[in-house]
Amino acid sequence: MTLKVMLVFGARPQVIKSAAVIHEALKCPEMRLQVVHTGQHYDFQMSRIFLEQLNLPNPVANLEVGSGTHSWQTGEIMIRLEEVMVNAKPNLVIVPGDTNSTLAGALTAAKSHIPLAHLEAGARSYDMTMPEEINRRLTDHCSNLLFAPTTNCVKNLHKENVTGAIHLTGDTMYDSFLMHLPKAEENTILEELGVESDSYAVLTIHRAENVDNSERLANILEAMTTLEELTIIFPAHPRTRRQLQLTGLEERLRISRNVRLMEPIGYFEMLKLMACAKLVFTDSGGMQKEAFWLGVPCLTLREHTEWIETVQKKANILVGASKDKIVSSARTILEDKEAKKRLRQLSNPFGDGKASVKVVQNILRNVS
């Protein structure tokens, strides 16, 4: 019997987390994989380009949900996804990460009595003001198979007494990172931007706690313009760009000496930019890990992180939205000539790059 598996995603990080698993599943004759895109990231640059770069199959359905409040978006995905699941009758649904698409896919599968697997299970920031924390907690407690990327994630799941089967697989995002790093290294984004290695930093901001709070957003950007000794490359998420325009901050950035505001870029371009950067400023969970794997210092623009492993290894500093803390931490890193060399010698708690193989093997063993 061929195992019918449906993988549901809707945002850029989920595409990256899923890529290696999709490629592994497509090699498996006992498994037929269908991908469903919820349309949570409806902007081409934020989603479609990643499908193309990572050589992924076209989704069998695009729910085209688009933007909305968290509750509306989650509910609308569930309504549209239920029909797809009923028609496809999968033996298993896989959801990666912690977006609204993750939770909507998990709840729809659970309520349709379809077994559920969660990629990146057990990640915890213990900050319930974050919608992502709510999404991943609820998803873990709906899941039959929980694929944990680190031993810390396994401990979190045991502590919460989840009912599903916990498997320590490593991080599927790390698999994708290793798989696509050679192409990223060949990318010409630095030449196109006219910047040299170690002469700039990368900035990304997209989380509601920063983007929707005009004071926090202004503090972060004031810190960036204060760091005049450093060029800041800022590919802006569409939602972030709208807030910059609404608050008048975009104009201030345009006249700044060192911040270069630009459109969103592809996966290979971002990896190349990060790899050659002096440091990374971000509120993204995925980019914290990518910076760690690349051996680039990371300043996280949040008070808490689900990837505490990177903080414990002193590769990542939580600076929140404090201008003074951002500036002082960045300048400390800039003065440390051995920072990147030291980070590249750290052990990796995110597995051996074969998480996707372990995920597919576990599915074949445990789902009928």
Catalytically annotated residues = 206
For residue 215, the tally of other CB atoms under 10 A from its CB is 9
Rounded to an integer, what distance in angstroms lies between the CA atom of residue 326 and that of residue 302? Answer: 11
Nearest to 95 by CA among 76, 116, 115: 116
Q: Which regions of the chain does DSSP assign to beta strands (E)?
A: 3-9, 31-37, 61-62, 92-96, 116-119, 145-148, 165-168, 200-204, 231-235, 259-262, 279-282, 298-300, 316-318
Closest Cα to residue 274, out of 186, 349, 184?
184
Which residue is it, tokens 């700044």?
256
CA–CA dist 362, 164 (Å, integer): 13
Q: Give the count of beta carbons closer than 10 Å to the beta carbon of residue 26.
A: 13
- Strands 200-204 and 279-282, bridge-based pairing: parallel
